């Protein structure tokens, strides 16, 4: 229980200590802490949970370590396809973008969709056109070209060989944040660079309200990460909320149910972060690791990578 706070993730997957370098590990801890600090600062000074999750995600979007914004993985065609969604638990308003390139801060564009259009989801070139029409500068391809991601694409292509679709990637990078503010409002935001070597305009769960992102002041705020197709079939984010609202489960009971029972029964892997109106939070995952952190009122920022 806490008066306010923020909980974030930077992706779940086969993240193993023996495969990690000390530098990379330190980088992830620092990146998560930066994100937590920036969101917490807003909450502490009385700002909204919407502003806090927006800012916390922006910080990860500009950090090349995370799979979104600058550090987005490459698609099969050598381009990018970023997805993002944001939702306000007070109004149930939401905005999302899917399959966008040249956008430094996809979550900022998702928020623009929420606030400046009668729509919820804009995709592809149309979403980029909307961004420009509203004064957002497009970034050149080079901004998103990181050596680590390019090598991951080559590796994924080699592994896929002649098969049409990429193998399930080891690390399913997505970033997300959920927050409770001093006014008691909840918000959630999720942003991703998608799946390395993906093709045919594949869209995952991140920009889908109810699958990868959901917030409702009646229950909780949720952001997921993992093998998106399973979260889309299970409506994981909304299901967590529905179990609380309709079954009277606690946040922790509902989160365990959706990750360890429902997602697992479909064969899906991943995790989520969620916070409720009382400041309880959870970070369950069924993969070896999940980059994650939390910073609650009167506490300090804590970040973790592997299973405890």
What is the nearest approach in angstroms of a copy of itself to the Cβ of residue 37? 31
Place of tokens 């309709």: 246
What is the nearest approach in angstroms of a copy of itself to the Cβ of residue 1? 25
Catalytic residue among 174, 190, 219, 269: 174
Instruction: Name the token pair of 173.
Output: 């990078």
Q: How far apart are CA 88 and CA 215, in angstroms?
A: 6
Please identify, using beta-carbon distances, which residue of 18 and 164 lies nearer to a copy of itself.
Answer: 164
What is the nearest approach in angstroms of a copy of itself to the Cβ of residue 136? 12
Instruction: Name the token pair of 193.
Output: 């660079």
What is the nearest approach in angstroms of a copy of itself to the Cβ of residue 98? 6
Does 78 bind a copy of itself (CB under 8 A)? Our answer is no
Place of tokens 């994924």: 156
Size of the site for a copy of itself (CB under 8 A): 46
Please identify, using beta-carbon distances, which residue of 13 and 47 lies nearer to a copy of itself.
Answer: 13
Q: How far apart are CA 34 and CA 283, in angstroms?
A: 19
In our burial notation (b when 16+ CB lie closer than 10 A, e otherwise), range 9-34 reads bbbbbebeeeeeeeeeeeebbebbbb
Residues in Cβ contact with 129 at an 8 Å cutoff, skipping those fewer than 6 apart: none
Total count of residues recorded for the chain: 308
Q: Which of residues 200-219 bind a copy of itself (CB under 8 A)?
A: 200-204, 208-211
Please identify, using beta-carbon distances, which residue of 36 and 235 lies nearer to a copy of itself.
Answer: 235
Please identify, using beta-carbon distances, which residue of 91 and 299 lies nearer to a copy of itself.
Answer: 91
Please identify, using beta-carbon distances, which residue of 46 and 126 lies nearer to a copy of itself.
Answer: 126
Does 161 bind a copy of itself (CB under 8 A)? Our answer is no
Does 94 bind a copy of itself (CB under 8 A)? Our answer is yes
H or E segment and range at residue 151: helix 147-160
What is the nearest approach in angstroms of a copy of itself to the Cβ of residue 232? 5
- Ranges of beta strands (E only) in 151-185 are 171-172, 175-180
Q: Which of residues 245-304 bind a copy of itself (CB under 8 A)?
A: 246-247, 266
Active-site residue, 174 included: yes
Please identify, using beta-carbon distances, which residue of 133 and 298 lies nearer to a copy of itself.
Answer: 133
Residues in Cβ contact with 63 at an 8 Å cutoff, skipping those fewer than 6 apart: 31, 34, 35, 70, 71
Q: How far apart are CA 160 and CA 277, in angstroms?
A: 44
What is the nearest approach in angstroms of a copy of itself to the Cβ of residue 159? 14
Among 12, 177, 235, 283, binds a copy of itself (CB under 8 A): 235
Residues in Cβ contact with 22 at an 8 Å cutoff, skipping those fewer than 6 apart: none
Place of tokens 């927006």: 54
Does 165 bind a copy of itself (CB under 8 A)? Our answer is yes
**Residues designated as active site:** 174
Residues of the shown chain interacting with a copy of itself in the complex, contacts defined by CB under 8 A: 92-94, 98-99, 117-127, 129-130, 133, 164-165, 168, 198-204, 208-211, 228-229, 232-235, 238-239, 242-243, 246-247, 266
């Amino acid at each position: 229980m806490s008066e306010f706070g923020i909980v974030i993730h930077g992706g779940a997957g086969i993240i193993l200590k023996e495969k990690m370098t000390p530098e990379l590990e330190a980088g992830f801890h620092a990146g998560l802490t930066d994100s937590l600090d920036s969101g917490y600062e807003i909450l502490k000074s009385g700002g909204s949970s919407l502003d806090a999750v927006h800012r916390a995600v922006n910080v990860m979007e500009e950090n090349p370590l995370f799979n979104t914004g600058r550090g987005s993985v490459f698609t099969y065609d050598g381009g990018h396809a970023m997805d993002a969604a944001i939702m306000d638990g007070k109004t149930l308003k939401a905005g999302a973008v899917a399959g966008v390139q040249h956008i430094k801060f996809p979550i900022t564009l998702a928020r623009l969709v929420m606030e400046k259009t009668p729509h919820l989801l804009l995709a592809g070139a149309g979403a980029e056109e909307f961004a420009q029409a509203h004064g957002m500068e497009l970034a050149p391809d080079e901004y998103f070209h990181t050596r680590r991601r390019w090598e991951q694409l080559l590796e994924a292509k080699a592994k896929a060989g002649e098969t049409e679709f990429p193998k399930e990637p080891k690390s399913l990078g997505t970033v997300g944040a959920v927050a409770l503010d001093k006014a008691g409002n909840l918000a959630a935001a999720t942003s991703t660079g998608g799946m390395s070597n993906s093709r045919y305009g594949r869209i995952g769960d991140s920009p889908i309200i109810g699958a990868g992102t959901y917030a409702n002041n009646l229950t909780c705020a949720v952001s997921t990460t993992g093998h998106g197709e399973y979260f889309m079939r299970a409506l994981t984010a909304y299901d967590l909320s529905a179990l609380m609202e309709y079954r009277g489960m606690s946040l922790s009971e509902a989160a365990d149910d959706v990750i360890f029972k429902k997602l697992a029964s479909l064969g899906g892997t991943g995790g989520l972060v969620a916070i409720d109106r009382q400041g309880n939070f959870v970070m369950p995952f069924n993969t070896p690791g999940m980059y994650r952190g939390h910073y609650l009122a009167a506490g300090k920022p804590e970040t973790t990578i592997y299973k405890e």
